Amino acid sequence: MTDKRVGMEVSIAAAEAVKMARAECVAAYPITPQTHIVEHLSELVANGELEAEFVPVESEHSAMSVCAGTSAVGARTYTSTSAQGLSLMSEILYIVSAMRLPIVMSVANRAMSAPLSIWNDHSDIMTCRDCGWIQIFAENGQEVFDQTICAFKIAEDPRVLTPAMVNLDGFTLSHVVESIYEVSQETVDQFLPPYKPVYRLHPDQPVTMGAFGMPEIFAEARKAQDIALRDSYSVILEVWEEWGKRTGRHYNPVETYRMDGAKIALLTMGSFGEVAMEAVDRMRKKGIPLGLLKLRLWRPFPFEDIRKSVQGLEMLVVMDRAISTGGIGGPVASELKSALYGQAKRPKIISFIAGLGGRDVPPEHFEEMVGQAMKLKGKRKIEEFYTIGIRGE
């Protein structure tokens, strides 16, 4: 069902996916570790392999501003960024989602400084988790390629019209060479037709976008945006199902691994899911009924999928790669506690924070998390969160 298998740097795979999606405008500013994506796209445009406008700008704020303009006039639009770059464009992220502009962006996740770090964690995206974008996390290079193409189809669907971002772990994914199955241009063209905007800026048919909202209408506009983002869930499933039929690669909001008979499960988001699989295999050999949940869809949050996935579990061990400073600890764990609150039967959630600033999290650390969690079984009082791999604890 696929054409060829190639060894490719994951950043290049993301750029190739954008090319195959026939993006019409790319606006970008370099920041490690996403730079290889847009560097390759600039080469593709310069060489005539992608018929698009490539706009080099002076900042990430400008990049998203350009994307807002090109998307508003009806062009299929793409950009990418990381860390402080994502924060700099934060103002415009809220604007384009509220204006329902279907921009697609790759975020090569990186720690927020200070101290300065170019390495991976999820602190950058957690600063923008409520910006109104569809947010998907990729586990490997194949998923980055597939989800980039899917993101265009999801975002541009007339029932959605909401920007989408694909998160890939910086360096851990972005700079490694992986085996990736490419599909033919014909397959992508059949899957993803040319973008036909419902509304666009045009001098012959004037419209207003993002106008001043008085208090009498602002709340209703924000409510409508929230409904649209939540309703995108069904379209996301449709798109993933169609992609699965065309390529043989099927995706779900929550992926499961060895959950048969599991009484305790790990939950991860991003590339560390594959490391956690090794820990699950090791502990299963020791007779520990451990499984793994991998959260792929961050927004809209898959409440019902989570609730179904944890049925029968006694404990859920959540690994966050970001810390809600001064708050409850891990953002993902906090979200899960909220999703499961009020359920008649729910597992005890144990929150762990690890892998900050690119710190390695080997299988042994996942085993340590499970071991610690098992010692807490039956205890009524537990800490809000625990940390793993930090010296001097």
Q: For domain 4-247, which CATH number applies: 3.40.50.720, 3.40.50.970, 3.40.640.10, 3.90.870.10? A: 3.40.50.970
Cβ neighbours of residue 30 closer than 8 Å, sequence gap 6 or more? 38, 39
Cβ neighbours of residue 92 closer than 8 Å, sequence gap 6 or more? 61, 64, 65, 67, 68
Cβ neighbours of residue 388 closer than 8 Å, sequence gap 6 or more? 352, 353, 354, 361, 365, 368, 369
Is residue 321 a contact partner of residue 356, using CB atoms and an 8 Å limit?
yes
Is residue 278 a contact partner of residue 215, using CB atoms and an 8 Å limit?
no
Region label for 83, one of left (φ > 0), alpha (ψ between -120 and 50) or beta (otherwise) = left
SS3 268: strand
Region label for 23, one of left (φ > 0), alpha (ψ between -120 and 50) or beta (otherwise) = beta
CB atoms within 10 A of CB 260: 8
Dist. CA 77–CA 53, nearest whole Å? 10
Tokens coding 187 = 């397959």
Q: What is the pLDDT of residue 393?
A: 66
Is residue 152 a contact partner of residue 146, using CB atoms and an 8 Å limit?
no
Please return the burial class of 281, using the count of CB atoms within 10 Å of its CB with bins 0-12, 13-18 and 19+. middle
Is residue 109 a contact partner of residue 167, using CB atoms and an 8 Å limit?
yes
| pTM for the whole structure | 0.97
CA 337 to chain CA centroid, Å, is 20
Is residue 1 a contact partner of residue 28, using CB atoms and an 8 Å limit?
no
Looking only at the bridges linking them, the beta strands covering 134-137 and 297-299 are antiparallel
Looking only at the bridges linking them, the beta strands covering 134-137 and 164-169 are parallel
Region label for 273, one of left (φ > 0), alpha (ψ between -120 and 50) or beta (otherwise) = alpha
Q: What is the pLDDT of residue 391?
A: 87
- Low-confidence stretches of the chain (pLDDT beneath 50): 1
* DSSP conformation class of 324: B
* DSSP conformation class of 252: -
Tell me the per-residue pLDDT of 61-75, one tens digit each, with 9 for 90 and over.
999 999 999 999 999
Is residue 133 a contact partner of residue 297, using CB atoms and an 8 Å limit?
no
**Residue range(s) in the chain whose domain bears CATH number 3.40.50.970:** 4-247
Q: Quote the Cα angle for 200-147-353, to 5°.
A: 115
Q: Which residues pair with 164 in a beta bridge?
A: 104, 134
Q: What is the pLDDT of residue 175?
A: 98
> Count of alpha carbons within 13 Å of 89, Cβ hemisphere only?
30
**Residue range(s) in the chain whose domain bears CATH number 3.40.50.920:** 254-387
Is residue 74 a contact partner of residue 197, using CB atoms and an 8 Å limit?
yes
CB atoms within 10 A of CB 312: 13
CATH classification (class only), 254-387: alpha beta
